[in-house]
Copies of this chain bind each other. A is one copy, B any other.
């Protein structure tokens, strides 16, 4: 079998994954939908979620249309024949870029909507299954999550491949990757607003519901008397499902395109040296991801266990199976696609493919390392969460101080893991000895690209686990809301705790992939800028010189934008939550029958208020994110943009780490206390309703916008920086 044969797998693998998602969706949908009470609340949630998504995606679609028009105009005007790196330029290129942008945006929106729709359907079926069996509940929730996982990854694969073919990639493989960068930008653009809007919605509803319900009225979480409770349940779906789906859609798309651009450099070497299948280096990212999808499909059937098994154990088994199969597939793909080198070897006579196989393994290993780092810092079994719980004994202030200290601390091991992974994959790539005509070793950067692709092989599984979180969370809410029997509550509680862990893991995975991909994406930008400079006969950009004032100032601004964007996102949650609090208070006051269940609160009004507030609040941070790199590029030039991108990525990754992990740790410190693990000096349990618990609730609330709004939005932000600069490179090179 040779590389050209292997390339044929992409389309069937993508289609198979879509069919598999449909099969899973059908499997979920034909399951028992629970009691009438459950179905009623599920219908209300679906209604609220659809209402929000419809309005949100209408807004995003309008923004995207504007974006596409502006993009088309800008590219048509600046990417003239004199500038263009390919023989497609001007209006032709502008229209193609605009279309790619819209297709990327549409694919992202489609995968978000469908995934969320199935997740909402899976919620109530999980609640229903929990009345009967833990294993069945796990399966329903995981399959519901997998619909999202497979759709997102398959649509991103098919979308990138489809655009590549449409732009003539089969005939001119070295040209097409540059023509489809608009696809990645479209995906990032949608992801940013989806994550921001969804993140603001979910946390505003959560914080609002908690503050009026639990704190002021003294009623439990998810109590039907709380007018914000439906909005809260809706929020889990629109924030966690749709938002994270869009996040990983754009990650896979942008990183795939970036890796193909780097593949072009190796293609040039392979062509010059007369290697049999030079295009294999460009197709590699698509092929390896196809195999990742196949590996994940197989592993879905391994999620089973006894009734008394640990649900996390079941999910972990599936993850390990996915990883093991991916490693084997990686060996196969690198061997087939990279061994046609006419006998040329890397350092020490070792075949070139072996080095890149090693780099891919580094990527797979990095995702495992991040799974454990996240567990250490955010699960109750270890020192950090215990420390925060202990600090709660002296009140909310020490709880917060301790959580911030833990959040800051997590950057250390995160950064070290990333530095080692980047260094190792770069080093392995360099050993492959791929030297271009200018004498530079392009293998190092390509090594980091292969590591990223290795890591992305398991994305569908990770995303399925992630969506498992909000599904079980909602299932618990539905069980509570519909006053289901206690067995169902017990099972959904256990699954909810597991879901918290899987949600945290996904954020670690998203951070790790953003960091691994960072180098790849800068390099793609630099490659593109240099192709333009070459065409213009100008000196190439040989370095991104931090000691030049423009680059330094751009770096300063980038680091600031990361904070400013987070400030806007966090404040947006506060503003939207205030609107909810006012409304719920009003309902308690004006509808006195609510408290004794004789009156039904007006859930729809709170849903509506939350929707409007979230949509209003997502605009400003979104525009800051889009315009900041453009303004820097126009004022300070293309080299400064590279500095902006690099330092913005570093700052964004680290601040997201701080926000995600402190938030997760606060959440679990509260759960740790609720589970009765905290004791005073005399050995008495300090559990629910104790002073330390009240302090821990404060920490948990502070962590909400950190970990579910600002943190995840930062993942998207750093990748948006990468795609927007890649697309607009011709604007900055003037």
Please give the residue numbers on chain A whose beta carbons come within 8 Å of chain B beta carbons, in ascending order: 207, 211, 215, 391, 394-398, 400-402, 404-409, 411-412, 414-416, 418-419, 422-423, 426, 444, 518-519, 522-523, 526, 542-549, 551-553, 555-557, 559-560, 563-564, 566-568, 570-571, 573-574, 577-578, 581, 642-643, 646-647, 650-651, 654, 658, 697-698, 701-702, 705
Contact = CB atoms under 8 A, between A and B. Distances in A.
A422 B546 contact: no
7 contacts: A394-B578, A405-B574, A415-B557, A422-B552, A422-B553, A546-B646, A698-B698
Nearest to A427: B549
A567 B405 contact: yes
A422 to B, nearest CB: 6
B559 A419 contact: no
Contacts of A654: 559-560, 563, 651
Contacts of A658: 563
B426 A549 contact: yes
A398 B705 CA distance: 11
Contact of A412 (B394, B426, B518, B564): B564
A345 to B, nearest CB: 23
B650 A559 contact: yes
A552 to B, nearest CB: 6
A335 B553 CA distance: 30
A705 B207 CA distance: 26
Nearest to A581: B394
B400 A400 contact: yes
A445 to B, nearest CB: 8
Cβ-closest 10 pairs across A and B: A408-B567, A543-B545, A415-B560, A397-B701, A409-B567, A405-B571, A544-B546, A411-B563, A543-B543, A408-B563
Contact of A423 (B418, B549, B567): B549
Contacts of A555: 546, 646-647, 650
Given A418-B556, A547-B642, 6 more contacts: A394-B581, A398-B574, A401-B574, A401-B701, A523-B547, A547-B646
A571 B396 CA distance: 15
Contacts of A571: 402, 405, 409
B408 A570 contact: yes
Given A412-B560, A567-B408, A573 B423 contact: no
B566 A408 contact: yes
Nearest to A515: B556
A658 B570 CA distance: 14
Given A557-B419, A650-B647, A654-B560, A401 B570 contact: yes
Contacts of A418: 556
A568 B211 CA distance: 32
A211 B395 contact: yes
Copies of this protein, total? 2
Given A211-B397, A567-B405, A570-B404, A547 B544 contact: yes
Contact of A559 (B552, B556, B651): B651
A207 B391 CA distance: 13
A574 B543 contact: no
A397 B405 CA distance: 17
A393 B298 CA distance: 53
A434 to B, nearest CB: 15
Nearest to A553: B419
A249 B566 CA distance: 35
Contacts of A215: 395
Contacts of A643: 546
A416 B404 CA distance: 27
Nearest to A408: B567
A542 B555 CA distance: 19
Contact of A543 (B522, B523, B547, B568): B547
Given A545-B544, A658-B563, A574 B391 contact: yes
A526 B523 CA distance: 25
Nearest to A409: B567
A573 B401 contact: yes
Nearest to A646: B546
Contacts of A211: 394-395, 397-398
A414 B650 CA distance: 20
Contacts of A519: 549, 552
A511 to B, nearest CB: 13
Q: Which of A402, A518, A560, A642 has the most CB of B within 10 A?
A: A560
A404 B568 CA distance: 11
A567 to B, nearest CB: 3
Nearest to A523: B547
A281 B159 CA distance: 62
Given A422-B553, A651-B559, A547 B522 contact: yes
Contacts of A407: 567
A396 B564 contact: no
A297 to B, nearest CB: 36
Given A419-B556, A547-B522, A566-B408, A401 B646 contact: no
A560 B411 contact: yes
Contacts of A559: 411, 415, 650-651, 654
A401 B705 contact: yes
A200 B560 CA distance: 28
A211 B570 CA distance: 28
A546 B549 contact: no
A185 B692 CA distance: 45
Nearest to A212: B394
Q: Which of A215, A391, A404, A423 has the most CB of B within 10 A?
A: A404
A549 B444 contact: yes
A426 B556 CA distance: 15
A211 to B, nearest CB: 6
A144 B610 CA distance: 56
Nearest to A210: B397
A650 B570 contact: no
Nearest to A657: B563
A568 B405 CA distance: 7
A412 B701 CA distance: 26
Contacts of A400: 400, 698, 702
Contacts of A548: 543
Contacts of A542: 543, 545
